[in-house]
Amino acid sequence: MTIHLLRLAVGAESLQSMRDWRRDHQITWRGRPVVPTHTRRAPTRAAELLDGGCIYWVVKGFVQCRQRFVGFDMVRDGDGIDYCRMLMDPELIETVSMPKRPFQGWRYLKPEDAPADLGEGQGGDPLPEHLLAELRALGLV
């Protein structure tokens, strides 16, 4: 059974900044390109996340995109602290914008509660990010 994660994209100013960061931080894991992100504790439902699950990113107060999970592994930093490295497909899939208040860490997200993907022709709006932010705040996008 599939489950998803919801996580804040700390430091991301826009979808473009998310794309740029992902492009610049790709690594190769088991022969394929992936984008890592780290968390202190490994998800207990990793098998369900790997069964078609995604990480849904909250950018500037709105769920705006997702990435598919590829795998997990444990890594140790220079201070000897263990972290879970979550490995995602580099493709960033835009979703229908959904407001979300800040929270710490990550949360599980049921598939029925996840926002839909943007359909063909709905993504890539040429509007400036500040206008999109205002429209999102009004609940119009």
Report yes or no: 4 and 108 within 8 Å, Cβ to Cβ.
yes
User: In sequence order, what E strands does the chain have?
Assistant: 4-8, 27-29, 32-39, 54-59, 62-76, 82-88, 93-99, 106-109
pTM over cut 0.95: no
Checking if the pLDDT of 79 tops 70, the result is yes
Q: 40: which residues sit within 8 A by CB, 6+ positions away?
A: 83, 84, 105
Q: Inform me whether the pLDDT recorded for 137 exceeds 80.
A: no
**What residues make up the domain containing 80?**
4-137
Q: What integer is the mean pLDDT of 89-106?
A: 91
Instruction: Please write the tens of the pLDDT for every residue from 5-18.
Output: 999 998 898 889 99
C-alpha pair distances (Å), 31 with each of 21, 28, 75? 21, 6, 18
Among 52-56, 105-109, 136-140, name the one with the lowest average pLDDT. 136-140
Domains of the chain: total: 1
Q: pLDDT tens, 53-75?
A: 999 999 988 999 999 999 999 99
